[in-house]
Structure 1
């Protein structure tokens, strides 16, 4: 379970870094005005709007990966395994003697027991 948790954490970390990088690469809405006046963005690798579509789709995919990994880590973190007794899990302990059986008897010393002070050598 620890290996799975670490893999999900790595996926979350990499997707977060990817989202940060892609958001910083994207142009704002005001940057489209420059393309109308011939700023040369139409000659880019993806075309005039191809870069925006590619970056926004990739950002959306990474955001979905980030949210799924976050929910997975939350679920794994909130799952608490059943507490076990360890080695003694299957051991059955005998029931203690009931107190009701000895309730009527007075606590008398055994007959063969010496009186107090009699067992001390002189």
Structure 2
């Protein structure tokens, strides 16, 4: 579950950076999204759409950040069934008794 939220968090971060770079800033900036965004909407409508998109992505980014922080603070639980099994007790073996020598063979 942690990995899924982390991947979603990274995708949101990349989308947020992209949306911010598309917006036209007061100082010029990249201004990639200037004009009418391919005729989809007016310039003012495109600015409102990008502003709303930025706000939504920022809210989701903050919520995934908080979720990841909470998950990191919890004590970790074993993830493998092998980790949950108790260690086997060592087997008690009797000490080895040396074998008696074999009698000589008569010829």
Q: TM-score range by the shorter chain?
A: 0.5 to 0.7
Of Structure 1 and Structure 2, the greater helix share is in 1
- 1:4-29 CA-to-partner distances (Å, cap 9, x unmatched) read 11111011101100110001000013
RMSD of the alignment, in Å?
Answer: 2.9
Larger radius of gyration: 1
Runs of 4+ in 1 over 3 A off after TM superposition: 40-44
Cross-structure match for 2:53? 58
Larger relative CO (CA 8 A, sep 6+): 1 or 2? 1
> Does residue 1:41 correspond to 2:40, yes or no?
no
Structure 1: which 5+ residue stretches go unaligned?
A: 32-39, 89-122
* Partner residue of 1:6 out of 3, 6, 14: 3
> Normalising by structure 2, what TM-score?
0.60
> Normalising by structure 1, what TM-score?
0.53
Distance in 2, Cα, partners of 1:77 & 1:30: 40
